[in-house]
Copies of this chain bind each other. A is one copy, B any other.
Amino acid sequence: MNKKAIILYSGGLDSTTCLAIARAERYAPYTMSFDYGQRHSVELTLAARYAPQLGAVEHQTVNIDLRRMGGSALTSDLEVPKNSNDKGIPVTYVPARNTIFLSFALAWAEVIGAFDIFIGVNALDYSGYPDCRPEFIAAFENLANLATRAGVEDRGRYCIHTPLIALTKAEIIARGLALGVDYALTHSCYDPTEDGLACGACDSCRLRLKGFREAGITDPAAYLEKD
């Protein structure tokens, strides 16, 4: 029987590639999405729809309301910046988001007896979020092995897999295509239209479009406009 793994899966380009990699590595994938009050919640519907097609054994959408806390353009009425050249941490950073996501993944992993958690963070073509860095992932892995039964009983060690962390966006796309990922089914925009069209101008769209350009491939996703 294949080893179980939890995949943090938003339905976006990175996490879908991550799911394909986990399958290629012979894990039985359990996918997890989060409804955290994000304005781009269309991704949740798509994620739930495509997870089984992409081989998920079970898919779970966790409801957590980060809107009440605010602090990010993704969860409040702050405007999502378009065509921004700002340096530093962007306003789309959601405080402690990956810490919260990984905590829930750890809880589910412990319940189903999985020791492997995949997260599609990326330290190269990324948006400057502190919780996408390798040192953050290492700290969480250390925490996971102290926070749980694994910390006091000899049951196994948790491993946080970050197969995309050292890849450029173009390399991620090439890797996904080689594994048969249909990127028309993935969704990356922070500020989509009600019909689910990507804006083409937020940081996430621009990173994605740049990746496809560099990979020499046309992005099959539907855009309102492309830079």
* Chain A residues at the B interface, C-beta cutoff of 8 Å: 60, 62-66, 68-71, 88-89, 93-100, 103-104, 106-108, 110-111, 130-131, 133, 135-136, 139-140, 142-144, 146-153
Say how far A68's CB is from chain B's closest CB, in angstroms: 7
Q: What residue in chain B is nearest A110 (Cβ atoms)?
A: B95
Copies of this chain present: 2
A66→B104 CA distance, assembly (Å): 9
The answer to whether B148 and A131 have CB atoms under 8 Å apart is: yes
Q: Point out the residue from B98, B107, B139 that lies within 8 Å of A139, measured CB to CB.
A: B139
Alpha-carbon distance between A70 and B105 when the two chains are bound, in angstroms: 13
- Asked whether A98 and B147 contact (CB < 8 A) given A69-B107, A152-B130, A153-B89, the answer is yes
Cβ–Cβ contact B149 & A89, under 8 A: yes
**Complex Cα spacing A103 to B136, Å:** 13
Contact A147 B143 (CB under 8 A): no
Bound Cα distance A96, B99 (Å)? 12
Query: A151: which B residues are within 8 A, CB to CB?
Result: 130, 133, 135-136
Question: Is there contact, CB below 8 Å, between B66 and A107?
Answer: yes
Contact with A106, one of B65, B89, B96, B135 (Cβ below 8 angstroms): B96
Q: Of B63, B88, B100, which contacts A103 at CB under 8 A? A: B100
Which of B93, B95, B103 is in CB contact (< 8 Å) with A99? B103
**Least Cβ distance of A124 to chain B in Å?**
16
Are the CB atoms of B147 and A139 closer together than 8 Å? yes
Contact of A149 among B111, B130, B140, B142 (CB under 8 A): B130
Are A130 and B148 in contact (CB-based, < 8 A)? yes
Looking at the assembled complex, report how far the CB atom of A63 sits from the nearest CB atom of chain B, in whole angstroms. 6
- Please give the distance in Å from A134's CB to the nearest CB on chain B: 10
If A65-B62, A130-B148 touch, whether A95 touches B106 (CB-CB below 8 Å) is yes
The answer to whether B70 touches A111, judged by C-beta atoms less than 8 angstroms apart, is yes
In the bound complex, do residue A107 and residue B111 qualify as a contact, i.e. CB atoms below 8 Å apart? Answer: no
